[in-house]
Structure 1
Amino acid sequence: MKKEYPEGKEKVQGNRIRILDKDTINKIAAGEVIERPASVVKELIDNSIDAGATEIRIEIEKGGKRSILVRDNGCGMSREDALLSYKKHATSKIMFIEDLDTISTMGFRGEALSSITAVAKVEILTRQQEEITGTKIVIHGGKVLETSDAGTAPGTSVHVKDLFYNTPARQKYLKSDRTELAHITDTVMRLALANPEISFTLLSDGKPVIRNAGSSDPFKSIVNLLGPDTARSMLPLEYRTEDFEIRGYISKPEITRRDSDQLFFFVNTRPVISRAINKAVREGYYTRIPKERYPVAVLSLVIDPREVDVNVHPRKAEVRFSREKEIGDAITLAIEKVLSESNLVPEIRKRKDRVQKTFEISESSDRLQVSEAAEIFGKSATGKTKCTHEISNFPESGGALREKAERYSYPVKDTERKLKKSERLLNFTSKDGIQGIPDDRNPENRKEPETNKGSLEDLRVIGQFSRLYILAEKGEDLVLIDQHAAHERILYEQILRMKKSRVQELITPVTIDLTPKEKVLMEEYIPYLEDYGFGISEFGDNTYVITFVPEVFGRLEGSEIIHDVISDLLASGRVKKDTGISERVCKTLACRAAIKAGAACSPGQMEELIEQLKKAENPYSCPHGRPTVITFTKEELDRMFARIQ
């Protein structure tokens, strides 16, 4: 098919290689810096921070696709500077290439405003404190339409409208308004945690999403942005050497998340992403938390700018350290030291500021320890468990600490309870004649294909390996069954059959605190959670109250499992309505209610699990597609041991 070119841009005949026009170059370059509305918000807030602002206000419409307004009370710009600010590579942060070695500002490339004005309609209002009149500049698609005097408060206001209006190829790949707002909320939250002394306000379509007053105490920002429940569990951490300093807060092992999205790491107040640092934090907990879980951490690294390269990526989200391994080892050792010196037994809490008393029960202690929320806050905020360590105080390696750590294990009673629950649900669905497993993408239509279940017949259980795999033999074959994946498949099919037909009301309603980002996404998921048995409603700014839950959970002992379900659902953002929210809810409920990896099983429990798996429509894969059963024939084993050629 012949390619159509816009009027005035017919393809030039002759040479195949040509230099792109300036307008095309600017739009392509803008795509490296401005990926979505959250990128605009980040770049504008960076400029506000560099301008010395103590108050930053962000107003969003339609997830930032229609309008983004960022207003600050910083130093402002003169008219001359304002007229240069939107030019490509115009910056006040550096002058020479050598300045890249000592960058202490958030921005330095001179690309942010230039990129934003190339793909949006922008209005800039700015005034310096000593000036009487401010400056107004209107730019559409990189072209200046208006420059004039204007009355405005000291500081700078940048209003971005119709993002990507002139680059429809980028515009069509933006997600829903709520998803884009979630990314913006996450961006503002990270910058607010990195700069606790600055007041941040985020409004979406006139409704407040984040209000974080500036404070010299970073713990107050943690309480406000991560929620009181998380803040109560945070332990202060400080670590110093001659070359760098690490300070912040880490959660007790009782608070974990499925993903690493609540590991906040800042380098000289710059939010950064570092897999090496995430790994170092996770290794600091070692066996204190389950293998697939992550803690919550807010850590700030203060280091000589010459030791870190922030000029790695146009969005400045990734950095490189000259001594990355040393920093990672220091973080791991510091976390190990703090955890080893802290009381890690979960406490029963009596919270007067909730609907009713809500208890969090420790499985490792029979004694009930009751503390007021204020006392718990006091322990974290006053730093009674705070420890400051010089490098000489740490062992050369974490080996000694790790040898003392006990392997994480779930109690045997937990396995028995979960198996009895799935057996009762199997009997319920069979007795009521609820048959057929709906297709994941359309829960009303189709059944799973018929499956040959012969390989599960006549199994003789041998034992359990690594508290995860059931070993059994069938004739001369060795059969391995993943206990978590198998039970997850069993529960998944039952949940699909039942939907909200089996629920249990909680005697004591449970409250959960969400981050601002989680709350933004929660509103989209509530109808689907209700379909599968949750009674959930808003209760305060970032708090929800749960009044009943799916019967598949059995006895509910605390809010952790509910928060994990919500976090699991929200971790990857929005799922398209026509292809996945219901499916994701079912998979998450099954995963959270299933027997865990690391759970001990008796021979009778293993046999019961196999019997339940036989009744599944598709017993050979979990809802996420991982295998539940693997068979080794004697011939394959003989070949592995070189008994046959």
Structure 2
Amino acid sequence: MSSIINVLDEKTRNKIAAGEVVERPASCIKELVENAIDASASAIEIEIADGGQSYMRITDNGSGMSAEDAHKCIIRHATSKISTVEDIFAISSLGFRGEAVPSIAAVSHMQITTRRPEDDFATHLILEGGTISSEDQAGAPVGTTMEVSDLFYNTPARRKFMKSERTESSKISEMITKLALAQPAIQFTFTNNGRTSLHTGGSGDLKDTIANIYGADLAREIFSITYDSEGLRIEGYVGKPSVLKSSRAWQTCIVNHRIVHNPVMFKAVENAYHAMLPKAGYPFVMLHLHTDPGAIDVNVHPSKTEIKFADEQVIYRAIYHSIISALVAQETPENIATTMDLQPRQVRHIEAAETELELRGQSERPQAEAQVLSFEAGPAPHSVPDAPAETGFYSQQSADRIKNDSLGESSSRPYSAAQTDLHTPLAVPTASQTAQFHQALAQNEEEAAVQKDHPGITFEGDEDVFIPLGEVADCFIIAKKGQDLYIIDQHAAHERVRYDRFCQRVERMPGQQLLTAEFIEMDAEDMTLLAERKDVFADLGYTYSEAGPTTLRIEEVPCDLQTSDIAGSIRDICQALHENGTPDKAVLRHRSLAYLSCHGAIKAGDTLNIRQMKQLLEELFHTEKPYVCPHGRPIIVRFTPDELAKLFKRT
């Protein structure tokens, strides 16, 4: 009986192993740069062409290798980082498996030039598919240069899955950015197709490195963060809640100088900022954790970016409290948030559930006129047990929940001046934004006087009509219907009205040509999306072209979109693309319409007269879902006479 199990030849084994380590050009850059860091380099140059697919070069001024070591480095599992199995449990270097160089060499044409300080000449090796085809000596400075050409030339199945040049370049740029943040004492230079796109000074000052990479404007909007207890030290910087990006590109977590992606660390960041963010997005976070190498396990994934902590609780609490402390220690919460724009925090699970029905007009009227509404400040961190329930920065201030038969279970939160500062700038919109509510005629002084002296006097006698009684804090409309009392968020109500009106339009958003083109600055990652998804943005009413590597020329935008909102609306769509990859067309249209609805709606701080309130309420209750805004926030809270009696302890 013949055997059916085959022992694969070395060439096949090498290609299979290479597939685990070398996923794309950015993977090669990461592995080779980490080798340069382990070689004690103080300056590293990275050059690529065609997104790294045709050429990559990494040059360092590190310790270099002898001719013998140069030959050994291309042998699988040959490494200078560890020598025994016990070393795996306390790894302090970035590399340790001895797989990166042989894996890259197996699927490319590669050249290695390396020289130690004590050597007169450098060793120069030329490899094809992992095999040395030529060897000689050459003149070269101390250090090592790795050149990789024609990546995946001998594995076409892998090559066909490569993305566009722009996408691959963006991935490499993001990787080098994070490596530079992890090593502020090393000077990094990144050249893409002959143009230097990144250069850091290598001063050792992390804030200087952040300024070199993200610009001085961002560096002025961040706070330092420190923590030192029980063998764990955290340092880094966090941004104001108003400094947001559409993806996690501004969030970098480093553990012992290693770039990592750990769910516990990201969850701690998310919960620390919870309820502070004015809209959906990801704040700037640069965390560098120093801990005992024996307390982490980095040998859980070929890329070495996923790690495990011996005690995740300690890590979570340290990050959570240090971020809260950093924000509160710098300024008062009101001052931290003064630059925030008004936009409700996205409720993604509500969006996903309602998008299809919302856009196709198939959603059903909420039963008994309402759904379950909640105005709580937000859940306390919940993903990790024993997480703090609240902090002094944003403690929950919810009142007791009030039960009623028709609206379900609801609660109310006291309104305060602090909340106005945190969530709503007192900016008066233009006439075009509020034309349907602000009439050109002067206010009817007589009606206003009657309402002021006799707020209970109305002009309707029908018990089923909503009767506005007044306004509180220029934000909430107080109204009655029959014997029940209602509180309506005027901004959320107008959002719903505008959203339903937009949904009734044609499939493609109507656009308006700009008299003069607008120029906006975008991140390289977003520019890649904009270049590759022009058809998506065209359906949403945007026409644009590239005016520079990170500059966009806007020529046409959706109707009703103000010039000041162009950059924000485009970034919001980019965020949806980052979050969902290839989202449904309806999801993107919903996201765009929700943004337009929000930014064109009346704001908290806009005073409405009784006539305008009546018109707003009338239009609100002609919409499909008058009890929830497009972002999922509640619009109305209702109190019955029995509930009011309970509040005043009359029952």
TM-score tier by shorter-chain length is 0.5 to 0.7
Aligned 8 A contact 2:79 2:97 in 1: yes
Aligned 8 A contact 1:307 1:322 in 2: yes
Residue 95 (structure 2) pairs with residue 107 (structure 1): yes
**2:131 matched to which residue of 1?**
143
Q: Equivalent of 2:568, from 554, 561, 564? A: 561
Q: Equivalent of 1:262, from 221, 233, 250? A: 250
| Range with greater deviation from structure 2 (168-177 or 218-227) | 218-227
**1:430-451 deviation line (CA, Å, top 9, x unaligned):** xxxxxxxxxxxxxxxxxxxxxx
Q: Larger Rg: 1 or 2?
A: 2
Q: Equivalent of 1:191, from 152, 155, 179? A: 179
Aligned 8 A contact 1:93 1:107 in 2: yes
Deviation at 1:101, TM superposition (A): 2.0
**1:590 matched to which residue of 2?**
593
Aligned 8 A contact 1:502 1:533 in 2: no
Deviation at 1:420, TM superposition (A): 5.6
Deviation at 1:595, TM superposition (A): 3.4
Show the 5 A alignment for 1:157-556. 157-290=145-278, 292-343=280-331, 344-345=333-334, 398-403=390-395, 491=502, 494=505, 497-501=508-512, 503=514, 512=521, 514-518=522-526, 532-533=541-542, 538=547, 550-554=558-562, 556=564
**1:8 matched to which residue of 2?**
none
Q: 1:511 to 1:563 in 2, by over 3 A?
A: same
Letter in 1 for 2:575: D
**1:341-398 deviation line (CA, Å, top 9, x unaligned):** 232446999xxxxxxxxxx68779xxxxxxxxxxxxxxxxxxxxxxxxxxxxxx9764
Deviation at 1:521, TM superposition (A): 5.1
**1:558-587 deviation line (CA, Å, top 9, x unaligned):** 787257337526736997xxx99x989756
Q: 1:522 to 1:560 in 2, by over 3 A?
A: closer
Q: Equivalent of 1:84, from 69, 72, 94? A: 72
Aligned 8 A contact 1:237 1:248 in 2: yes
Aligned 8 A contact 2:116 2:122 in 1: yes
SS at match of 1:46: helix
Show the 5 A alignment for 1:28-107. 28-107=16-95
Distance 2:502 2:210 in 1: 36
Aligned 8 A contact 1:223 1:231 in 2: yes
Identity %: 32
Distance 1:228 1:495 in 2: 43
Q: 1:204 to 1:281 in 2, by over 3 A?
A: same
Distance 1:52 1:77 in 2: 12
Deviation at 1:226, TM superposition (A): 2.1
Letter in 1 for 2:161: Y
Letter in 2 for 1:197: A
Q: 1:245 to 1:362 in 2, by over 3 A?
A: same
Letter in 1 for 2:313: K
Q: Equivalent of 1:608, from 619, 623, 626? A: 619
Structure 1: which 5+ residue stretches go unaligned? 1-12, 350-359, 365-394, 425-458, 468-472, 474-481, 615-619, 629-645
Letter in 2 for 1:253: P
| Range with greater deviation from structure 2 (29-38 or 524-533) | 524-533
Distance 1:32 1:583 in 2: 36
Q: 1:574 to 1:321 in 2, by over 3 A?
A: closer
Letter in 1 for 2:127: I
SS at match of 2:300: coil
Deviation at 1:58, TM superposition (A): 1.1
Aligned 8 A contact 2:253 2:287 in 1: yes
SS at match of 2:287: strand
SS at match of 1:146: strand
Distance 1:495 1:152 in 2: 65
Deviation at 1:66, TM superposition (A): 0.9
Deviation at 1:173, TM superposition (A): 0.7
**1:571 matched to which residue of 2?**
578
Deviation at 1:532, TM superposition (A): 3.5
Q: 1:100 to 1:62 in 2, by over 3 A?
A: same
Distance 1:162 1:554 in 2: 47
Aligned 8 A contact 2:58 2:147 in 1: yes
Deviation at 1:490, TM superposition (A): 5.2
Q: 1:331 to 1:415 in 2, by over 3 A?
A: farther
Distance 2:61 2:580 in 1: 33
Distance 1:572 1:363 in 2: 22
Distance 1:123 1:609 in 2: 69
Distance 2:203 2:78 in 1: 33
Q: Equivalent of 1:133, from 79, 100, 121? A: 121
Aligned 8 A contact 2:296 2:307 in 1: yes
Letter in 1 for 2:224: P
Distance 1:342 1:148 in 2: 59
TM-score for both structures, normalised by structure 2 = 0.67
Deviation at 1:302, TM superposition (A): 0.8
SS at match of 2:196: strand
Deviation at 1:205, TM superposition (A): 1.4
**1:394-420 deviation line (CA, Å, top 9, x unaligned):** x97645554267779855999998996
**1:118 matched to which residue of 2?**
106
Distance 1:561 1:171 in 2: 36
Distance 1:73 1:411 in 2: 52
Deviation at 1:612, TM superposition (A): 6.0
**1:135-176 deviation line (CA, Å, top 9, x unaligned):** 111111122211211222211111111111111111111111
Letter in 1 for 2:42: T
Distance 1:152 1:407 in 2: 63
Q: 1:16 to 1:605 in 2, by over 3 A?
A: farther
Deviation at 1:107, TM superposition (A): 0.5
Structure 2: which 5+ residue stretches go unaligned? 344-386, 398-417, 438-463, 469-474, 476-480, 482-491, 635-651
Task: Give the aligned CA root-mean-square deviation in angstroms.
Answer: 4.6
Deviation at 1:216, TM superposition (A): 1.8
Distance 2:566 2:267 in 1: 27
Q: Equivalent of 1:156, from 117, 140, 144? A: 144
**1:392 matched to which residue of 2?**
none
Distance 2:46 2:577 in 1: 23
Aligned 8 A contact 2:109 2:129 in 1: yes
SS at match of 1:594: helix
**1:438 matched to which residue of 2?**
none
Q: 1:346 to 1:95 in 2, by over 3 A?
A: same
